[in-house]
Amino acid sequence: MHAWDGRKVVRLVARIMVKGPGGEETVRAKIDTGADRTTIDKVLAERLKLGPALSRVTIKASAAGQRVERPVVNASITIAGKTYDLKVGIADRSQMRYAVIIGRDILRSGDFLIDPSRIKKPA
């Protein structure tokens, strides 16, 4: 993470903190400019006691290619030193690499530049 033009530069995968009534956890999250809403894995949401569901949202899941209904809960997410209290979707992400997807609901704040380069592994 770097600062440029007053904005934070984040890579496609960022360390974030998710906080709920049951505690907080630092996890790696995928930055997804194609996702409208930030989404958290249901197991992580259960551990942090996120809920109850405020509403449900129907989305077109790109992986499934069909409409899927998801519960929406309040959560607190810290990324690049800034905390966002927002409504997030809950989904089964057990088959996915990252437990959290950061969507445009956070990214549209304008505080971030996304660096698509990969982090080089040490030789």
Q: Minimal CA–CA distance to 26: which of 42, 48, 53?
A: 48
Q: How confident is the model at residue 55 (pLDDT cuts 50, 70, 90)?
A: very high
> Please, which residues have CB within 8 angstroms of residue 66's CB and are 6 or more apart in sequence?
60
Q: Does the pLDDT at position 123 exceed 50?
A: no
What's the pLDDT score for residue 100? 98
Residue 61, beta-bridge partner list:
66
Residue 45 three-state SS: helix
Q: Does the pLDDT at position 77 exceed 70?
A: yes
**Contact call for residues 72 and 54 (beta carbons, < 8 A):** yes
Query: What CATH number is given for 2-115 in this structure?
Result: 2.40.70.10
Domain assignments of the chain as residue spans, ordered by start: 2-115
| HSE toward the beta carbon, residue 117, CA cutoff 13 A | 7
